């Protein structure tokens, strides 16, 4: 089993979580703890694991970019 935890500290973590929820599916467990976005990814396959992390980081980056332009 391959496991990764990503923690993001940002003033907009609630909005970021909402923006990535639909993309998460069964591959990512995302939640907010102590004002941080916590994303846990697990997989048996390194290729799907890599694609999931790449997709997740792209979705988070896009969300942060959009939110920064709103402020």
Tens of pLDDT, residues 38-57: 999 999 999 999 999 999 99
CA 49 to chain centre: 13
DSSP state of 44: S
Domains of the chain: 2-70 (3.90.1150.10)
Run means of pLDDT, 10 residues per run, the chain, 71 residues: 96 94 81 96 94 94 90 60
Structure pTM?
A: 0.87
Residue listed under structure tokens 């976005």:
37
Q: 35 and 9 in contact (C-beta within 8 Å)?
A: yes
């Amino acid at each position: 089993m391959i496991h990764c935890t990503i923690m993001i500290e940002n003033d907009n973590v609630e909005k970021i979580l909402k923006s990535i929820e639909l993309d998460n599916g069964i591959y990512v467990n995302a939640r907010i703890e102590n004002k941080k976005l916590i994303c846990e990814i697990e997989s048996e396959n390194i290729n799907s694991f890599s694609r999931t992390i790449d997709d997740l980081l792209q979705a988070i980056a896009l969300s942060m970019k959009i939110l920064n332009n709103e402020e």
